[in-house]
């Protein structure tokens, strides 16, 4: 079944599912807030997508995709999505579970001999795919620095052992299942286990299991110079141009995509009223990804709630939202949030680390969706 994605945003103009479909009221908020935020935060370029009733009803680029300010950003501009790679990785893993290639409760040490991390007081044989997907494996290293020269990329084994351009090695700091700690290193460990277990490249699996079935023609985790030649160019905290950085850690870090492509994936994560889905994930698989991870110790007050590849929020109206944000050293910021049951959501990509300011759009959408006070909830 084809995804309900309206086409016609090649120039970055808003899209609509039909001539008689009224423009959602929140579009006016996007149109007024985004340019102002970009100006104040010195954000070079951005793209925003809005999903209502399971359809992409608005997709538009703002500013410029390049350093020189000559190439307009559009809904079809390819951005680096940084940690939005993790929910994609969850789909790859869950697809392999469905095929019987791996098991969620399978100890990853079964596929990783010799064990690639340094010896510690904690038993690596207790770590499962579920632990790695939910950041409860007791692994360290939140994110990566990346490399300026693609030829310098280490192997996954070298990265895990500490060749991370200054970020250190992945280590075990707690028993598996005891607590949540965000760990890109854990996702790298999972990537190695997947590649060892399937004898396939992770980038090929992502294409075969996610991007291909969903028609995401401009999405990849391969992150090679030729692939990114036409992508947006990044900018640093002061708004100045920064060069591209490359990462071998694909499961946690390397998604490149467009607003239109990523919206296809978001829509595929929204089950229909009759329980059917329009993507490769079943309703049961989606429910597992959106369920808070269980811990063997009490969760700290105010601590983040995470499922399999997704942060989970309970909104003020009682609805559940799932999402993820991302930022990297190559000068990109991205964020998305969606309510699978209500079949709505929002996503933005920016080619500036100061794109953090655009998180306000996510907050305003959340307040609007939950019928909460935006002034009280989203202070400037």
In three-state secondary structure terms, 104 is coil
Provide the pLDDT for residue 275. 72
Cα–Cα distance, 215 to 218 (Å, whole number): 9
- What is the widest separation between alpha-carbon atoms in the chain? 64
Provide the pLDDT for residue 21. 66
> For residue range 314-324, what is the model confidence (pLDDT) as tens digits?
999 999 999 99
Provide the pLDDT for residue 15. 57
Provide the pLDDT for residue 144. 97
Question: Residue 199's Cα: distance from chain center in Å?
Answer: 25
Cα–Cα distance, 150 to 21 (Å, whole number): 46
Low-confidence ranges of the chain (pLDDT < 70): 1-21, 273
Provide the pLDDT for residue 3. 44
Provide the pLDDT for residue 241. 97
Provide the pLDDT for residue 14. 56
Neighbour-count burial for 315-349, b at 16+ CB within 10 Å, e otherwise: beeebbbbbbbbbbbbbbbbbbbbbbebbbbbbbb
Number of alpha carbons in the 13 Å side-chain half-sphere of residue 285:
21
């Amino acid at each position: 079944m084809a995804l309900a994605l309206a086409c016609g945003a090649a120039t970055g103009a808003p899209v609509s599912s039909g001539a008689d479909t009224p423009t959602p009221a929140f579009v006016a908020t996007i149109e007024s807030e985004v340019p102002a935020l970009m100006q104040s935060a010195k954000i070079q370029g951005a793209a925003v997508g809005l999903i209502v009733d399971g359809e992409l009803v608005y997709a538009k680029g703002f500013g410029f995709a390049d350093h020189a300010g000559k190439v307009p950003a559009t809904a079809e501009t390819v951005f680096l999505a940084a940690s939005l790679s993790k929910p994609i990785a969850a789909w790859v893993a869950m697809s392999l579970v469905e095929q019987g290639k791996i098991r969620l409760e399978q100890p990853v040490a079964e596929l990783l001999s010799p064990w690639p991390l340094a010896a510690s007081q904690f038993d690596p044989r207790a770590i499962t795919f579920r632990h790695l997907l939910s950041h409860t494996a007791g692994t360290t290293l939140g994110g990566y620095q990346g490399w300026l020269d693609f030829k310098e990329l280490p192997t996954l084994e070298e990265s895990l052992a500490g060749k991370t351009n200054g970020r250190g090695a992945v280590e075990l700091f707690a028993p598996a299942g005891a607590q949540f700690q965000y760990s890109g290193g854990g996702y790298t460990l999972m990537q190695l286990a997947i590649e060892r277990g399937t004898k396939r490249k992770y980038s090929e699996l992502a294409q075969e299991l996610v991007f291909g079935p969903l028609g995401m023609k401009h999405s990849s985790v391969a992150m090679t110079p030729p692939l990114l030649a036409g992508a947006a160019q990044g900018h640093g905290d002061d708004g100045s141009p920064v060069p591209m950085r490359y990462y071998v850690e694909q499961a946690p870090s390397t998604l490149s995509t467009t607003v239109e492509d990523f919206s296809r994936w978001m829509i595929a994560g929204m089950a229909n009223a009759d329980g059917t889905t329009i993507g490769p994930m079943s309703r049961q698989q989606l429910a597992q990804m959106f369920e808070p991870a269980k811990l063997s110790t009490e969760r700290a007050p105010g601590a983040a709630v995470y499922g399999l590849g997704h942060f989970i929020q309970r909104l003020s109206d009682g609805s559940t939202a799932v999402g993820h944000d991302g930022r990297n050293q190559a000068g990109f910021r991205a964020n998305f949030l969606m309510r699978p049951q209500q079949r709505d959501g929002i996503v933005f990509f920016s080619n500036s680390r100061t794109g953090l300011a655009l998180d306000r759009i996510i907050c305003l959408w959340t307040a609007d969706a939950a019928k909460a006070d935006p002034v009280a909830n989203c202070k400037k």
